[in-house]
Structure 1
């Protein structure tokens, strides 16, 4: 079927946003809207550039949130975009936003996510299929924005994007005329399911949060889960293992009716939410994106009846996918481009222990795990220790202290510093001292 005609770039221009002072954000050049992919389907994007940033215009950063089925507008409004809510009726500039350093493309994908529309019969059932659609989107996007096609491309995201990003990178690298892909940045990523499913007991043990009751139940569920991974192919997700993380959330709370936040173990919540309504801006952000004037401002022509941060139907459609875990793609990807794993150390769901074990088990560039020759450094900003970084043979693993599953929510400065290092970007715009540049 022939793809529909593409609108001109001017049709996607974003001039003003409700609750945002135009003069405050005058330096931003923005384009957003639903790029037609077929007669029934479109994919929503938002590209944000900073016209006063005279550095790093040779780079384009693509940001994907996870789920699957969660909107990348999480990134725009709660993590790394230039906008931050101050109360319910005002948008103010976010300190240390990506737009201080990079031009960023945010994408709602797969179909059914955020403002990306299609019939439910067109929802993706496999990550392989979703990757092909996302690749087609990028090709069509570059037709509308040909100047961005020349940029160095970096793929970044968090959580389930740990599956999306390697799949997309692999597809790009196998194109007849690949985009200029330069690196992958994956935060608290769902990359390697088995070690992550097995990591929860060890994480809790290290934090002195593992009670005998929880330990016993975890061991039972982990043994059942492990049997699932003796078969081939190994799944990205499996219902027989999803219960493992839930043991602690159900039985490890500080008091009856309470549980720890699965995205930030420093926080508690009522059961069974356990962090599902976090960050606190989610409510305001959701109300904002359901406003008709906001949808008009970002060129949404066909909106869902109710915009939701995450679409459970998208999640369900992919729940039985037997595409192999994205970790299987990393050795070949690392032959071509570097990869960064960054992890907020307060996350439970996609935690540092699971990522540590993934790195330790990964075979690439002639060795397994980090070698004795790896570079290791303590990371400081303005004299404060904020994390640690290890790097070897093109793979970097950064721990960001006092950061949650969504690192940009609580440590945007650290994330901006890390991305500046990894992309070899100019640091001239940064307003802090970092050990990366000492």
Structure 2
């Protein structure tokens, strides 16, 4: 296997602090050290201006003097949805390369909002969101892609990102990796800024960040990095990103408060009749106080990496192992696991997607680099392990503070959740949303859950105040757009239009 030589290493970007030396160091944007120099650099920048200037047989390369360590390769890729223009490419961060898809809106790409989508894991490709859930085409079996009428690009331009490095079609040379959400956030923030600077029609356009599952950890930090970067962009004479909202689907954002909800979902009629036997439920119930106390002391009150890992491992065994014995799908408790959880996450469609994206003609059309392994994998266990080693998951409870900070700065946040999901369930997400400390907490808690409807039919329950909205989608599991495509599209359309559900 041959590797392209990576671009030469440039001096550190003066607009960012040095990378973290430990998992607890925050990697955050700084104010430019010399705003006049930044302005001068921007004056020598020539944007590509319009996506029509992007090539279709080879990559166009985008860069910006404000981000000397980052560049973007992009090409037109005519696949999936013949009604819109589609583009694919890489975000190049020296020896690291993140793959992305971009689809224009089916409605009006020149005026419609822009949505960024990432799947979770950590370590799972956003091709799952694209080809299984909310993209303009779906690959659900061996027959290949089919037009998807309820795609989220019905009224929005949309990105799908394979991140971090090693996920999907993303790759790196010389063993470089990303193993914390903080580090991943800076690459995403730089990419978004470069894209908006080059394609000027998107400047100032409302920008929404969305995702599911471990994206509940990713998105609060990604959005905060973009928001904080805006001050530096302003000082450099660049257009700030109009970060409007964050949409978290069945997100893992606050693990401690969610802990008892695993019992509630499996052992009480929170959504369906109890699915675990009485003796198992009693054992789970008995361990809840111990786990809450231990995890709070070891992971929250004073972070102790060894003790936190021990507490989390013990409690995961008590809850997860007990559930998996049932044979039910942890992402949809209304059905048994279809196939193998380890190979297909109980959804055989993931194998069909992997087969499709392993085809040489598909990869050539997308511009997949030859350094990427031939056999596509929807999730990368090595990436998941790397995030485990840095204990990124165990520090996920800090993500709620980023949610609070975004709300205080006028960035709206939507927490939507399928009612049949066990792994990141509605009971736990509602609990932490009500416990979230911010200036709108009292107003949010005071609102009773109310029905939201489509065509007069109840779709779920919702609560909203001061920019924070919680909403369930009845009959959906972990993958809301997969189970309820019409309802999820209506949810997003109302949300980006600023309407009440």
Give TM-score scaled by structure 2 length.
Answer: 0.76
In structure 1, how many angstroms separate the alpha carbons of the residues matched to 2:165 and 2:109? 34
User: Which residue, 209, 212, 215 being the options, matches 2:281?
Assistant: 215
**Mean alpha-carbon deviation: is it higher for 170-179 or for 93-102?**
170-179
**1:260 paired to 2:268:** no
* Counterpart in the other structure of 1:2: 10
Question: 5+ unaligned residues in a row in structure 1: which ranges?
Answer: 427-434
SS of the residue corresponding to residue 364 of structure 1 reads: coil
* Counterpart in the other structure of 2:226: 172
Q: Which deviations, in whole Å up to 9, do the C-alpha atoms of 1:118-168 show, x marking residues without a partner? A: 147422232211112222222333344343333211001100101111001
Paired residues for 1:362-401 under 5 Å: 362-365=436-439, 367-368=441-442, 370-372=444-446, 374=447, 376-401=449-474
Q: Which deviations, in whole Å up to 9, do the C-alpha atoms of 1:354-377 show, x marking residues without a partner? A: 1011012111115457232x3753
Query: 2:344–2:350: 8 Å Cα contact kept in structure 1?
Result: no
* Counterpart in the other structure of 1:163: 217
Paired residues for 1:38-117 under 5 Å: 38=94, 40-50=95-105, 52-54=106-108, 57-85=111-139, 87-117=141-171
Query: 1:117–1:304: 8 Å Cα contact kept in structure 2?
Result: no
Query: 1:386–1:401: 8 Å Cα contact kept in structure 2?
Result: yes
Question: 5+ unaligned residues in a row in structure 2: which ranges?
Answer: 1-8, 12-44, 60-73, 234-239
Offset of 1:35 from its aligned partner?
2.6
Alignment CA distance shift 1:362-1:402 (3 Å):
same
Query: 1:34–1:301: 8 Å Cα contact kept in structure 2?
Result: no
Q: Which deviations, in whole Å up to 9, do the C-alpha atoms of 1:297-342 show, x marking residues without a partner? A: 1111232243210111111111133555211212211012111000
Offset of 1:228 from its aligned partner?
2.5
* Counterpart in the other structure of 1:181: 243
User: Which residue, 184, 192, 197 being the options, matches 2:254?
Assistant: 192
Offset of 1:62 from its aligned partner?
0.3
The alignment's C-alpha RMSD in Å is 2.9
* Counterpart in the other structure of 1:430: none
Query: 2:96–2:172: 8 Å Cα contact kept in structure 1?
Result: yes
In structure 2, how many angstroms separate the alpha carbons of the residues matched to 1:405 and 1:212? 25
Query: 2:440–2:466: 8 Å Cα contact kept in structure 1?
Result: no
* Counterpart in the other structure of 1:422: 495
In structure 1, how many angstroms separate the alpha carbons of the residues matched to 2:260 and 2:468? 23
After the TM superposition, which segments of 4 or more aligned residues of structure 1 sit over 6 Å from their partners?
Answer: 5-8
**1:273 paired to 2:329:** no
Offset of 1:421 from its aligned partner?
1.3
* Counterpart in the other structure of 2:376: 307
**1:202 paired to 2:267:** no
User: Which residue, 333, 340, 359 being the options, matches 2:433?
Assistant: 359
Alignment CA distance shift 1:407-1:213 (3 Å):
same
In structure 2, how many angstroms separate the alpha carbons of the residues matched to 1:275 and 1:185? 28
User: Which residue, 418, 427, 450 being the options, matches 1:344?
Assistant: 418
Give TM-score scaled by structure 1 length.
Answer: 0.86
In structure 2, how many angstroms separate the alpha carbons of the residues matched to 1:152 and 1:283? 35
Offset of 1:225 from its aligned partner?
5.7
SS of the residue corresponding to residue 187 of structure 2 reads: helix
Offset of 1:224 from its aligned partner?
3.8
In structure 1, how many angstroms separate the alpha carbons of the residues matched to 2:333 and 2:193? 40
SS of the residue corresponding to residue 150 of structure 1 reads: coil
* Counterpart in the other structure of 2:296: 229
Higher relative contact order (CA 8 A, sep 6+): 1
Q: How many residues align?
A: 414
Alignment CA distance shift 1:238-1:381 (3 Å):
farther
Query: 1:262–1:275: 8 Å Cα contact kept in structure 2?
Result: no
In structure 1, how many angstroms separate the alpha carbons of the residues matched to 2:488 and 2:338? 30
Query: 2:119–2:211: 8 Å Cα contact kept in structure 1?
Result: yes
Alignment CA distance shift 1:276-1:307 (3 Å):
closer
